């Protein structure tokens, strides 16, 4: 079971999730792909309907950030 910590915004929506795992991919797939650091961060932002890259139903868009020492 993977361990995560979730942080919610003032509206009760997930804004950050820290995954304490590298998803068995610490070295990535080559090139600039360094895979996932352990831990790594998912940051979810919300925008009005119609904003590119954001889901129309939830307004959400997530980016993964690798965390450096």
Partner 1 sequence: MRRSLQPEVIGVDAVIRVLGKWSARDLAYVEQFGFEGTEDGGCVRIVALFQPRSEDHWPDPAKPMRRVVLRFTDIDQLRLSDFGGNWVQVMGFDIVPVADRGWESARFAVEDYEDQRISFYCRTAAVESVEEADTYI
Q: What is the closest distance, in whole angstroms, from the C-beta atom of residue 36 to partner 1 in the complex?
A: 9
Q: What is the closest distance, in whole angstroms, from the C-beta atom of residue 7 to partner 1 in the complex?
A: 16
* CB closer to partner 1 out of 39 and 60: 60
- Cis previous bond, 58, omega within 30: no
- The 28-67 site mask, x for binding partner 1 (CB under 8 A), equals xxxxxxxx------x---------xxxxxxx-xxxxxxx-
How far is residue 25's CA from residue 23's CA, in Å, rounded to a whole number? 5
How far is residue 33's CA from residue 20's CA, in Å, rounded to a whole number? 19
């Amino acid at each position: 079971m993977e361990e995560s910590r979730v942080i919610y915004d003032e509206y009760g929506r997930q804004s950050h999730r820290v995954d304490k795992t590298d998803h068995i991919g610490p070295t990535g797939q080559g090139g600039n792909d360094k895979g996932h650091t352990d831990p790594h961060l998912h940051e979810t932002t919300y925008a009005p309907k119609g904003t590119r890259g954001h889901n129309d139903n939830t307004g959400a868009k997530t980016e993964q950030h690798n965390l450096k020492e």
